[in-house]
Chains A and B, each alone.
Chain A
Amino acid sequence: MCQKNGISNGSFYKQPFTEHFEQAPLYVAVFTYVGFTVGTIFGYLKDFLRACGIQKCPFAIEREEQKDFVPLYQDFENFYTRNLYIRIRDNWNRPICSVPGPQFDLMERVTDDNNWTFRFTGRTIKNVINMGSYNYLGFAETDANALKTVADDLQKYGTGVCSTRQEMGNLDKHIELENLVAQFLGVEDALVFGMGFATNSMNIPALVGRGCLILSDELNHTSLVLGARLSGATIRVFKHNNMQSLEKLLRDAIVYGQPRNHRAWRKILILVEGIYSMEGSIVRLPEVVALKKKYKAYLYLDEAHSIGAVGPTGRGVVEYFGMDPDDVDVLMGTFTKSFGAAGGYIAGRKELMDFLRTHSHSSVYATSMCPPVAEQIVRAMKCVMGLDGTTKGLQRVQQLRKNTRYFRQRLHEMGFIIYGNDDSPVVPLLLYIPGKIAAFARCMLEKNIGVVVVGFPATPITESRARFCVSAAHTREMLDTVLNALDELGDFLQLKYSRNSKSSRPELYDKTSFELED
């Protein structure tokens, strides 16, 4: 689906909403399957050779005396890991030895036995450009001046709280942070938790239960899926960002009610994310809110990637679309991505927060956020809001927006297939063919750029991709280095599949007169 002319449901959107999900030509899909087939055949061949004893078996196998017992593990479940993943394993989990800012230092490692074991050579690869970390506003830094308050709080409060919010773990730091988060988002109250994943998985069960309906987007994160399953509610999945699918599900739910007894659902909760990190797409929030109001459902918005990263002042998708935060019933987000800390928050009306304080598993049983991390979030948020007296935060937000636009525009011009919204700092670049996953990551590392690549089964089988995360801390030179490297690599590996690329530099004919050549 290419860029549309004009906007559907145009009255909802105050600015153009352009998303791209271009499909590659069909021969690319055929080659992808050929790649996986060849990999599978060689996988079976290597398994056979290892079973015969012709090749050494470097992984754990059963002892002789255990072979008569029922096996504990199914070795077919490990097929993909040992035959496809291990062969290209050197592209993931690379150890770094500096803070993961816009550049980091990588520990060089080599393997003598085809990636079964690694050893460090002792050398460090310095200043590798970091295109993989979720560092949208560039707060992953070690500037001693900026972190002074964090260091002071570390001395004052210690490292851990060792108690739950309800018992002895409610410090003044948490209250300060919660008030600040509520002020940042423009809502009545907020609640913070020590872990972002646990925020979703522990709070959704407190909000909905048996007899309720959850309408969850196809590509929701594991934490949302886990929270939904733990709640015991009925879960129905609508197609990714597809408002017709969501409306149909809502209508069917209200008309037919619960599956057996056709009573009305107790609650209907719509679970969406602000930015989907695998696709780079932004939720169609105005339409979702309109649907929610029409059918009287509740909305839970997970802004893990979008808080701090979109919006004119960094307040997330609600501000990006110019909407009222009161329209969203439960605003959730994490501090991991844009604020350089850890943990998550839930924000909304005061009654809801007071309810969650007593009924959420996290508040009652989990330890609260540790104070130095809370102080880091406080200082980062104050910087973004401008409460520290400078405009540095706003500059970061604007720099991120400029970087995002520039990066995406250049990649489109070069002819790569990029997914997602033009304003999303997550940029998935499609690689398709499994052999190119490893080739891309290794070649980029040789050019001193660190990228994240993902393939099947994390993505659909034909859509392996490299995912870039643009940061406010990236300078124009760094982005240009990356883009030039991508240009070369795109020609070398033949990754420029796009058939819609528009060039910003049309060919200039420098002839002033044209003559027919005989």
Chain B
Amino acid sequence: MPGRRGRRWDGAVRCCVVSCCESCRGRGRPLVSSPGPGGAVSELRGPEDHTWNWTFLSKGRGSDVISVIKQFQVCLASVGANMNVGTAHSEVNPNTRVMNSRGIWLSYVLGIGLLHVVLLSIPFFSVPVVWTLTNIIHNMSMYIFLHTVKGTPFETPDQGKARLLTHWEQMDYGVQFTASRKFLTIMPIVLYFLTSFYTKYDRIHFIINTISLMSVLIPKLPQLHGVRIFGINKY
């Protein structure tokens, strides 16, 4: 469909399989797959000393039998271990829809409010310190849960396409600038404004809060989708 990038079902259903060069192969690095040519949003760049060969395998007739067997195994394996009783699996990765669900934005704001109230009730923290702490704890939690933890806490029927993607990269299957992404980008900024106000723009607090804000805003840039700096957190 014109104008849409990275929608999973758009374009022909083809698998791109990235095959490592020979030196990687011996070390058992996992094969990484990314969506088809309709919008290759998750480019995982290899480490600087290896080159990655992109091999496009289209689902021709010859690979049908093998893919059938593999898909059956995946389906049968996923049926036994969890609650998937006769379920609809059009949604291959439910993680992508969690942030769009009803009431989650409200719960998120209430969660920040609860954190703030708990910190305020500690007697020896002054109000500026409490606001800075709220900001720091919120940004650290956001960094850990959205930009560090990778994969899904359950097995997905798509054979692990999202295993190396953080939750931020999985959201809406990689489509940028959706409503939830905008919300989660704006929340730390709003919190930063409030914190700056309540700390009366003190220099030390400002430095700490700004560094914290940068740490949580930079990973959200679309240019950094799938990027792992210095190979940190790649696998």
Contacts and interface: CB of A to CB of B under 8 A. Distances in A.
Interface string B148-182: 01111111010010010000000000000000000
A234 B37 CA distance: 13
Contact of B153 (A77, A277, A460): A77
A234 B12 contact: yes
Interface stretch (A119-127, A212-220, A442-450, A476-484): A212-220
B85 interface: yes
| A30, A69, A454, A458: most-surrounded residue (chain B CB, <10 A) | A458
A236 B102 contact: no
Interface residues of B, number: 51
A30 B13 contact: no
Interface in B60-77: 60, 64, 67-68, 71, 75
A290 interface: no
Interface stretch (A223-231, A392-400, A404-412, A486-494): A223-231
A452 B64 CA distance: 35
Contact of A232 (B12, B71, B83, B101): B12
B107 A235 contact: no
A30 B110 contact: yes
A80 interface: yes
A33 B163 contact: no
A92 interface: yes
B204 interface: no
Contacts of B71: 226, 229-230
B123 interface: no
A76 interface: yes
A177 to B, nearest CB: 25
Contact of B94 (A235, A453, A457): A457
Interface in B88-106: 88-91, 94, 97-98, 101-104, 106
A193 to B, nearest CB: 15
Contacts of A205: 64
Contacts of B38: 259
Contacts of B88: 218-222, 276-278
A81 B84 contact: no
Contact of A462 (B89, B101, B152): B101
A79 interface: yes
A76 B150 contact: yes
B9 interface: yes
B101 A230 contact: no
Interface string A36-58: 01000000000000000000000
A456 B153 CA distance: 11
A114 interface: no
Given A236-B9, A237-B9, A81 B102 contact: no
A80 B84 contact: no
A361 B128 CA distance: 70
A501 interface: no
B177 to A, nearest CB: 21
Interface in B10-65: 10-13, 27-29, 38, 58-60, 64
| A33, A79, A221, A457: most-surrounded residue (chain B CB, <10 A) | A457
B1 A29 contact: no
B152 A33 contact: no
Instruction: Label chain B's interface by main secondary structure.
Output: loop
A81 B154 contact: yes
Contact of B106 (A26, A259, A276): A26
Contacts of B58: 232
A439 interface: no
Contacts of A348: none
A323 interface: no
Contacts of B29: 70
A441 B75 CA distance: 26
A152 interface: no
A81 B82 contact: yes
B68 to A, nearest CB: 6
Given A26-B103, A218-B90, A80 B163 contact: no
B155 A460 contact: no
Contact of A92 (B75, B85, B87): B85
A462 B97 contact: no
B90 A225 contact: yes
A166 interface: no
Nearest to A88: B83
Contacts of B102: 23, 26, 29, 462
Contacts of A76: 149-153
A377 to B, nearest CB: 20
A326 interface: no
Interface of A: 23, 26, 28-30, 32-34, 37, 69-70, 74, 76-81, 85, 92, 201, 205, 210, 216-222, 225-226, 229-230, 232-237, 252, 256, 259, 276-278, 361, 452-462
Interface of B: 1-2, 9-13, 27-29, 38, 58-60, 64, 67-68, 71, 75, 81-91, 94, 97-98, 101-104, 106-107, 110-111, 149-155, 157, 160, 163
20 contacts: A26-B102, A30-B110, A76-B150, A76-B151, A76-B152, A80-B153, A92-B85, A210-B12, A219-B88, A222-B89, A225-B89, A232-B13, A234-B13, A252-B1, A259-B11, A278-B88, A457-B83, A457-B84, A457-B154, A462-B101
Given A28-B103, A34-B107, 7 more contacts: A79-B153, A201-B68, A218-B90, A222-B88, A454-B83, A461-B94, A461-B98
